[in-house]
Amino acid sequence: MLSFLAYLIMGSSQSLQSAVEVVSNWHPQPRERLIFDCGRAEVSQYLQAVVKIRQSASDNDELKDIISMAVSRLKHEFRTVLTRQTDSAMGSNSTTELSSLTDSTGYQFRYEDFVVHETPSAEVIRYLRSIAETMDSCGHLDVCIEVYKSVRRPFVNAVFKRLRLDELKAGDVKRFLWEELKMKIERWIEAARVCTKILFTREKQFAAQIFSGLGRTATHEECFLYTAKDAAVCLFSFAESVSLSHQSPERLEAVLMLYEVMFSLAQDVGALFPSESAKAIPNGTAATLSRLEDEVRRMLSAFENAVLHDLTTISDDGGRVHPLTKHVMGYVNLMVVHRKNLVRLIVSRPSMTIRGQNVPGSELQDPTSLSPLALHLVLIIAVLQSNLENKSEYFKDPSLRYLFMMNNVRYIVQKIEGSGELQELISADYLKKLDGYVKGAMTSYQEITCGRLLNCLRDEGLYVCRCFTSQVSIRALRKRIKTVNIVFEEIRSLQSSREVQDLGLREELRRSMLEKLMPAYEGFLMRFSSHLESGKQRKMCLQYVHRIHVKYSLKDLEELIMTKLFARHQLPPSSDCPVENSHLGGG
């Protein structure tokens, strides 16, 4: 295959004298006038002349001077055309600010929006290559190499600065507040893709198009490394610094995003910097990737421990879903979103213990059938449930403890049911157990709540024996009706301030309580009325009923249960806690 230079001078019949005249005539020309701009014929003529003179200049000092003139001209041409191309590539729109990815200063861009304004034209590449070949044949390739380095390195640094990577200094990682660091990680991710996929790749291709096969071995690699190595080291040092910063578990998402990008770029980095002189770059990225893997595992373990020992208190008496539950399930959902990478990272099975106690075997009927990641998810949920049970002790009213656990575990079940991927990971058996826990808590809550009113509706203690007959004790009846009214008021007061956020669970609980209380209350009222139907007792009771009467009818009880019970749910629900904004272990 012919070189560009051989192609240009092929078939040349130029005489030595003519060649000298061509070079000499261009020497006094203004620097702004370029051979390149005069067309392909002028370029061919000039390069043919230089080759012709070089072939005859070995023992002729005058011709050597002409060669020096030509080298000076070609150096100028090489620099000017290369600079012109570089300036074009650095057009004002080479980063388009059209993205929602914005840091605290309002700067925004994304990988998809980045455009190297135009790649070198085939004509430019041919000309630069021809000059490089001509200079190589004259023993002056080093001149082109130095010019290339002096032009392209500032170009790479300028793009680096335009991407604002110069602001992402490794030493500043621990200084940034989390929100600021998160934005900078997001910006770094986009910029790293731009540098690896576009900037470095095209820069290596450009150097190879001009210098491949010329001069010393791998001259193009030398040129590329000189222009890109410092930028690459600076780029990946930020990721290295993050990998060493020991972030809190709530920052898992950003660290995972960083890991995923580093993993996806590792092969490209290895291909870009394969030489011995550049091995520190792919070796460094591999080491950073390994540390990020360890960091993810450490953060997961720390999160499990933080959930177990979270000391945040309960701030209301409504039995609502605790912020910890929302936070943990948000974290679990995050793990599911990143499961592809986490399955690769989480390879060891966790110790299935809670506060020194093994997770009951009934929760994991066949642990060996679950992946290590799935076991971690189950453990996190079990740890959360254990912590919630401890928090429920805050409530002095046992019924509220069951309501609190019912709401929180139901929330967990809802989140699992809403994610097919999560259901697939943790198995149907564990989900069934959680659902069974909700039903058990609901039953216990009903028994306690309804039990007080049901106890008041019994016949025991209302009858006395007189003249060998059993009669209603007016005193006992008065006391009992007063107690019924008090309990009714307590139910209306307490239960209406409590919350069951899940609509289906709320309606199921209401219907079940209605089925328990309505027949008993109706029977009590009917039995009480029947004692008003005979003789003297009827007269006495009718007189008394004006003084002590049942304040609430069956309709009142039905309205209480179906519309007033858990009325707090009508308040606007609080939003789920974002993972990165939540804090565990607070007092």
pLDDT tens digits for 373-404? 998 999 899 889 989 999 998 888 888 899 89
Question: Which tens digit of pLDDT belongs to each residue from 232-246?
Answer: 998 999 899 888 888
What do you get for the CA distance between the two ends of the chain, in Å? 76
Burial class (CB in 10 A: 0-12, 13-18, 19+), 170: middle
Higher pLDDT, 156 or 354: 156
User: Looking up tokens 């008065």, which residue turns up?
Assistant: 478
Cα–Cα distances (Å) from 238 to 107, 478, 483, in that order, read 19, 79, 71
DSSP 434-451: HHHHHHHHHHHHHHHHHH
Residue 463 bridge partners (DSSP): 472
Question: Which tens digit of pLDDT belongs to each residue from 531-585?
Answer: 544 444 545 554 454 445 667 778 887 887 787 777 664 444 444 554 555 556 5
Question: Which tens digit of pLDDT belongs to each residue from 6-65?
Answer: 555 555 567 888 888 898 999 888 988 999 999 989 999 999 999 888 887 677 778 888
Neighbour tally for 440: CB within 10 Å: 14
- Torsions phi, psi for 258 (to 5 deg): -65, -45
Report how far residue 157's alpha carbon sits from residue 352's, in angstroms, rounded to the nearest whole number: 51
Neighbour tally for 57: CB within 10 Å: 18
Mean pLDDT of 467-474: 66
User: Looking up tokens 């000017």, which residue turns up?
Assistant: 80
**Which runs of E-coded beta strand occur in 401-487?**
463-466, 469-472
Q: Between the CA atoms of 265, 338, 362 and 352, what dihedral angle is there, to the nearest 10 degrees? A: 50
Instruction: Using DSSP, state whether 95 is helix, strand or coil.
Output: strand
Last residue of a domain, one of 226, 244, 262: 244
Is 53 within the bounds of a domain? yes
Residue 329 has pLDDT above 50, yes or no: yes
Q: Which pLDDT does position 483 carry in this prediction?
A: 80
Is 447 within the bounds of a domain? no
Mean pLDDT of 399-418: 92
Kindly report which listed range (130-134, 160-164, 263-267, 415-419) carries the lowest average pLDDT score.
Answer: 160-164
- The answer to whether 402 touches 445, Cβ cutoff 8 Å, is yes
Is 208 within the bounds of a domain? yes
> Under 8 Å CB-to-CB from 493, ≥6 apart: which residues?
none
Which amino acid is located at 73 in the chain?
A: R
Residue 78 has pLDDT above 50, yes or no: yes
DSSP 182-219: HHHHHHHHHHHHIIIIIIHHHHHHHHHHHHTTSTTTTH
Task: Name the pLDDT band for 250 (thresholds 50, 70, 90).
Answer: confident
Query: Which of 21, 22, 9, 18 lies closest to 51, judged by CA?
Result: 9
Question: Which tens digit of pLDDT belongs to each residue from 129-147?
Answer: 999 999 998 889 999 999 9
Is 207 within the bounds of a domain? yes
Task: Name the pLDDT band for 362 (thresholds 50, 70, 90).
Answer: very low
Q: Between the CA atoms of 533, 537, 543 and 547, what dihedral angle is there, to the nearest 10 degrees? A: -100
Longest dimension (CA), the chain: 153
Last residue of a domain, one of 244, 267, 298: 244
Q: Which structural domain, as residue segments, surrounds residue 480? A: 463-570
Instruction: Using DSSP, state whether 114 is helix, strand or coil.
Output: strand
What percent of the chain shows pLDDT beyond 70? 79
Question: Which tens digit of pLDDT belongs to each residue from 197-211?
Answer: 999 999 999 999 999
- The answer to whether 21 touches 48, Cβ cutoff 8 Å, is no
C-alpha count within 13 angstroms, C-beta hemisphere, residue 475 = 1
What percent of the chain shows pLDDT beyond 90? 33
- The answer to whether 96 touches 54, Cβ cutoff 8 Å, is no
* Residue 68 tokens, joined: 């020096």
Higher pLDDT, 359 or 395: 395
Q: Which pLDDT does position 9 carry in this prediction?
A: 52
DSSP 529-558: HHTTSSHHHHHHHHHHHTTS-----HHHHH
Higher pLDDT, 158 or 1: 158
Question: Which tens digit of pLDDT belongs to each residue from 109-123?
Answer: 565 555 555 678 889
Q: How many domains does the chain have?
A: 2
Task: Name the pLDDT band for 353 (thresholds 50, 70, 90).
Answer: low
Residue 101 has pLDDT above 50, yes or no: no
Is 299 within the bounds of a domain? no
Q: What is the pTM of this model?
A: 0.76
Is 404 within the bounds of a domain? no
- Torsions phi, psi for 416 (to 5 deg): -70, -45
Report how far residue 449's alpha carbon sits from residue 459's, in angstroms, rounded to the nearest whole number: 20
> Under 8 Å CB-to-CB from 29, ≥6 apart: which residues?
none
Is 579 within the bounds of a domain? no
Last residue of a domain, one of 194, 214, 244: 244
> Under 8 Å CB-to-CB from 313, ≥6 apart: which residues?
391, 394, 587
The mean pLDDT value of the chain amounts to 80
Which uninterrupted H or E stretch holds 358? Answer: strand 357-358
Report how far residue 241's alpha carbon sits from residue 174's, in angstroms, rounded to the nearest whole number: 9
Report how far residue 422's alpha carbon sits from residue 420's, in angstroms, rounded to the nearest whole number: 5
Is 37 within the bounds of a domain? yes
Q: Which pLDDT does position 527 carry in this prediction?
A: 74
Question: Which tens digit of pLDDT belongs to each residue from 267-284?
Answer: 999 999 998 888 999 999
